[in-house]
Each structure stands twice: as C-alpha cells, then as structure tokens.
C-alpha cells in the first residue's frame, strides 16, 4: 500500500499547488484521482514518483518511508509512472524499451502479448524507434505496454491513460485495468476525467485547489461530479469557485 501524509507542494514563485494532502492507495484496488484542470492531480503523481520534491509531507510504501529516495530508487522499489505525454527516445526501439521495463530478456512472443493488450501489432512496431515518427496515441499505448511488462511493480500510476487512445483500444484498456485490480500486491492509481474509468474505481478522490474535496466509490462520486446542483464541481474545471 502507498500512503501519503500531509503532502504540500508549491511552485518556485510560492503559488501553492497541493495543500496538506493525505490519502491511502491500497493494494488490490483501483484508486482514481479526478478533478478540475490545474487542481494538483499530476503534481501529486510526480511527487509520488520523485520527479518533484514536496515542501512538507511524507510518502510510505508498504510502511517504509520513501520520501527521500531518488526517482531511480523508487522505480527499483516498484513505483511505475505512465506520463500524460509520453517521453520519446531516438535510437531506442520498442523491443528495447519493453526489455528494459521488464528488467530481463523477453521473447518477441512475450513482447507481442504486451503490445496486443494495448491494441498494437508487434510485427508493425517491435523494431520501430520510440521517436517523433510515432503519433501521440501510438506513444501512449507503447508506454502503457511497458508498464504492463513490469512484473515486479508495486504501484502503477497512469496519468490520463485515455488521452490519444482510440475507442477500440480504450475498451481493451478498461479490461486491462480490471485485470490489474485482481493483483493483490499491486496498488493502482489512475488520474482521469473519463467516466468509464470512474465507473470501475474502488475509490475516487476529487482534488481541486490543491485539496481533497470528495472521496468515495466511483459510483458514489460520478453523480456529484456531473451535477452542478449537488456538488458544484466538474472534472473539466467548471464552477470550481463553489468549493
């Protein structure tokens, strides 16, 4: 389980982005973080992975404090992050990336399995470089395939995985998330505005203005998210001032 205690973070100019955020991301469950743009969702993910350092607060993985660990050390402990906009690497093939992600030599058949799960044909992609020749949607799916290859993962973080994904592949992605939920030793965190992802969430957390505003199951939270009368909030940023 990943636990966060009193996490705060601010921009260099002093603008507060996260303010005393505390939450648990349990194993064997799907936790979805949603809320208006600019509310602090991606900042939270970056702090968990070590891409940003909090002003205050602590992060624990299975009871061990990891707040002071580097990005590499956290990755070795099993924290994986799929970026909202995937990073591209000239000179590294898809097969290279999947092998690095797995941490061992994998066969083309195994690589094909990971790519198939995200709607890509290994024959067309396995030897391609992860560079600007790939579309945004292709890069996104390849990155998710790399996350799936991490068999020793303890925490999987997906930042808006629906971005750039076509409808057919998105349906397959929902199935992947359902299967990942079945892994009892894996904490699954998704940042998303997508209603179909919210529907399968075990716990949904609404972050706006740097604070947790709502918390409950996906089915409990969805009616509030899309009802101005009930909650005055919208994951796309409307009526945030009513908090």
pTM value surpassing 0.75? yes
For residue 93, report the phi and psi dihedrals to the nearest 5 degrees: -85, 165
Cα(170)–Cα(150) distance, integer angstroms: 20
With H, G, I as helix, E, B as strand and everything else as coil, classify residue 97.
helix
- In Å, how far are 14, 114, 126, 146, 148 from 154, measured between CA atoms? 33, 18, 26, 15, 12
Q: pLDDT tens digits, the chain, 243 residues: what are they?
A: 999 999 999 999 999 999 999 999 999 999 999 998 888 999 999 999 999 999 999 999 999 999 999 999 999 999 999 887 777 777 899 999 999 999 899 999 999 999 988 888 888 999 999 988 888 788 888 988 998 898 889 999 999 988 777 766 778 888 889 988 888 889 999 999 888 899 999 999 999 999 999 998 877 888 877 664 344 444 444 444 333
């Amino acid at each position: 389980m990943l636990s966060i205690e009193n996490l705060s973070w601010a921009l260099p100019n002093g603008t507060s982005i996260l303010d005393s955020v505390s939450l648990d991301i349990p194993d064997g469950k799907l936790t979805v973080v949603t809320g208006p743009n600019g509310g602090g969702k991606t900042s939270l993910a970056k702090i968990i992975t070590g891409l940003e350092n909090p002003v205050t607060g602590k992060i624990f993985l299975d009871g061990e404090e990891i707040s002071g660990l580097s990005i590499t050390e956290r990755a070795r402990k099993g924290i994986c992050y799929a970026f909202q906009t995937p990073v591209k690497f000239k000179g590294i093939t898809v097969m290279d990336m999947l092998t690095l992600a797995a941490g061992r030599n994998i066969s083309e058949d195994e690589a094909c399995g990971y790519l198939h799960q995200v709607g890509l044909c290994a024959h067309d992609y396995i030897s391609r470089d992860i560079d600007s020749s790939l579309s945004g949607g292709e890069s996104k799916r390849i990155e998710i395939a790399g996350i799936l290859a991490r068999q020793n993962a303890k925490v999987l973080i997906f930042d808006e995985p629906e971005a750039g994904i076509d409808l057919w592949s998105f349906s397959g992605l929902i199935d992947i998330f359902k299967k990942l939920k079945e892994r009892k030793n894996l904490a699954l965190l998704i940042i998303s505005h997508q209603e179909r992802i919210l529907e399968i969430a075990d716990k949904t957390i609404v972050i706006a203005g740097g604070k947790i505003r709502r918390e409950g199951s996906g089915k409990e939270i969805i009616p509030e998210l899309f009802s101005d009368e009930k909650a005055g909030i919208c994951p796309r940023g409307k009526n945030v001032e009513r908090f």
